[in-house]
Amino acid sequence: MVLPTRRRFEIRKKQKRKRKLEKLRELFAKTKSKKEKEKILEQVSKITPYLTEKEFLTSLKEKKENS
């Protein structure tokens, strides 16, 4: 079954957002300066305005524990 165009678009958009957040989490973990970390958090808020800084950092900690 072929998905309607709009639904396919939404799925790809969600997947892209997820990949971007993964890259930003990795970058955030590697970054040492506070200024760069703030810049990354600004990018995260632009990508996902509903995701709070606390949730972003919590998911980062969970990822470290699972590795």
Number of domains in the chain: 1
Determine, yes or no, domain membership for 58.
yes
Question: What is the pTM assigned to this prediction?
Answer: 0.78
Q: Which two tokens stand for residue 16?
A: 């892209």
Residue 12 lies in a domain: no
Which structural domain, as residue segments, surrounds residue 51?
A: 20-66
- Could you report the per-residue pLDDT of 1-54, keeping only the tens digit for each? 677 889 999 999 999 999 999 999 999 999 999 999 999 999 999 999 998 888
37 vs 67, residue with greater confidence: 37
Per the model's pLDDT, the better-predicted residue between 9 and 58 turns out to be 9
> What is the distance between the alpha carbons of residues 53 and 67, in angstroms, rounded to a whole number?
22
